A and B are shown apart, each in its own frame.
Chain A
Amino acid sequence: MHDDARPPGILTASWLVARKDLAIEFRTRTAFLAAVVFALLGVTIFYFAWDSTAVAAMDLAPGVLWVIFTFSALLGLQRSFGVEQADRAIDALLAAPVEREAIYLGKALANLAFVVGVEAITLPALALFYNLPVGEVFLPLAGVAVLAAIGIVAVGTLFSSMAVNTRLAELLLPMLSLPFFLPIVMTAAQTTARLLAGRPIADAWPWLRILVGFDVVFIVACTLAYPFTVEE
């Protein structure tokens, strides 16, 4: 790949790790398809969990959307470090002459693509099935979805790397992650509800501010924390 012997910089290395993960996912497509099917099933099943004559689909949608996004994201996050367990591929990755932070960032980048990909299919599906007026607010809504995905991925990638090393393995990931997703789900769902109700984005600003703050704090904290979780 590189003719010179110098190891790649942190950004190049992150990109290489992300590309590797995305290539695996693109060739197998197992986790992505599973997550999309799971999300679509969620959209349809949730509709029948409420009396549609008593609760308008519009009132239901923000909650349903964020519950589904969070849980389908967990499916992708579980695989993130799960794929490295076979043949102890993680050892080779850790032995590579790249910064540990780059491995975390690369994994997080691939997970972000995964989560945003699932969101890109689920959001239009929800709009279709629940008859939501998303036309005018689609861009701000997509922006909120990406901001929330960043927070979910920042925390989830770190916990995924930790969970695979425990006896509980993938069972532990939701237990560790979901309490951390609370501020994300709350801010994103509140913002979504305001956007769908046709209120100006400024109305949701107090919520968005917390979401952005969460993203910044946890990207930095988890990037710094990752090397501690992989030392030998």
Chain B
Amino acid sequence: MTDRIQHHGVDSLATSARGTDWILLSGFAALAAVYVRVIWFTPIEASQGSAQKILYVHATSAFVALYLAFALMAVASALYLWLRDETLDRVAESSAEVGLAFTTVVLITGPLWGKPIWGAWWTWDARLTATLFLWLLILGYLLMRGAIDDRAMRARFSAVLGLLTALLIPFIHLTVYLFRTMHPMPIVLKPSQPSMPPEMQWTFFPSFLALTLLFAGLLRARYRYATLRDAVLDMENAS
């Protein structure tokens, strides 16, 4: 009966999301360009060999996940509790999910590099531990979101959990760093290279830009999906 009307309503909403998503597309194109540069135009590092090339995706993904995605999630959560704007909840939801994807990339590329360099897929190094727990926290956050039907309640609970997670991160860092310094690892060499040759820098910094662009594209796409989903629910409830 009202199906037709609903579909028309959704259609008119969906037209705004139709067409080519240029931000997302250029994000993927930039990432592809970075890959080409990483593989063919960046010198192989002397001591680590080609494994070092993972750095261009690994470190940059970690940066995007922690300092863009999860920072945005925490800020949007705090602002939601203050302003009660559903937009902010959708921003928090979207950045958490996209951040989870980037953290997953970090957790997959890390062991791929660790096996040839450290000789083990995984070590309980401070950074690894903290990243793994952050990944689990965000997974719990998204699981909780999926388990609440009432939208206002979901937004409030998520904002509270998002804020508490932001408070927890410093404690996890403190404990895991203390743990590591008291129990030194056989290999404490970190992949950080303060003196990187210019050819590598010319791959590393564009890679930051490419992944930031990709993040922006994915975030916008995910946010649009959340907006459409909520609009459909509103229409269903209204009919």
Contacts and interface: CB of A to CB of B under 8 A. Distances in A.
22 contacts: A158-B164, A165-B148, A166-B147, A167-B147, A167-B148, A167-B149, A168-B144, A172-B140, A175-B139, A175-B143, A176-B140, A179-B136, A179-B140, A183-B168, A183-B175, A186-B175, A186-B179, A190-B182, A207-B175, A221-B163, A228-B81, A229-B157
A179 B144 contact: no
Contacts of A190: 179, 182
B175 A221 contact: no
Contacts of A179: 133, 136-137, 140, 168
Contact of A229 (B137, B156, B167, B168): B156
A183 B160 contact: no
Task: Tell me the interface secondary structure of chain B in the complex.
Answer: helix
B103 to A, nearest CB: 13
Contacts, number: 80
Contact of A180 (B164, B174, B176): B164
Which 4 residue pairs across A and B have the least CB separation, nearest first? Answer: A166-B147, A183-B171, A168-B147, A167-B147
Interface in A197-213: 206-207, 210, 213
B96 to A, nearest CB: 14
Contacts of B176: 186
A176 B174 contact: no
A33 interface: no
Given A179-B168, A183-B174, A172 B179 contact: no
B144 A172 contact: yes
Given A183-B168, A231-B156, A175 B140 contact: yes
B174 A166 contact: no
A218 interface: yes
B74 to A, nearest CB: 13
A158 B167 CA distance: 15
A182 B129 CA distance: 11
Given A179-B136, A180-B168, A187-B175, A162 B160 contact: yes
A96 B171 CA distance: 36
Contacts of A225: 160, 163-164
B179 A228 contact: no
Contacts of A155: 164
Contact of B175 (A165, A168, A182): A182
B157 A172 contact: no
Contact of B160 (A165, A182, A207, A229): A229
A217 interface: yes
Given A162-B160, A179-B140, A218 B167 contact: yes
Given A210-B178, A228-B156, A182 B133 contact: yes
A120 B175 CA distance: 26
B92 interface: no
Contacts of A168: 143-144, 147
B141 to A, nearest CB: 8
Contacts of A187: 175
B72 interface: no
Nearest to A167: B147
Given A175-B140, A228-B81, A221 B156 contact: no
Interface in A119-141: none
A172 B147 contact: yes
Nearest to A166: B147
Could you say which of B143, B159, B171, B178 has the most chain A C-beta atoms within 10 Å of its C-beta? B171
Interface in B93-142: 133, 136-137, 139-140
Contacts of B159: 228
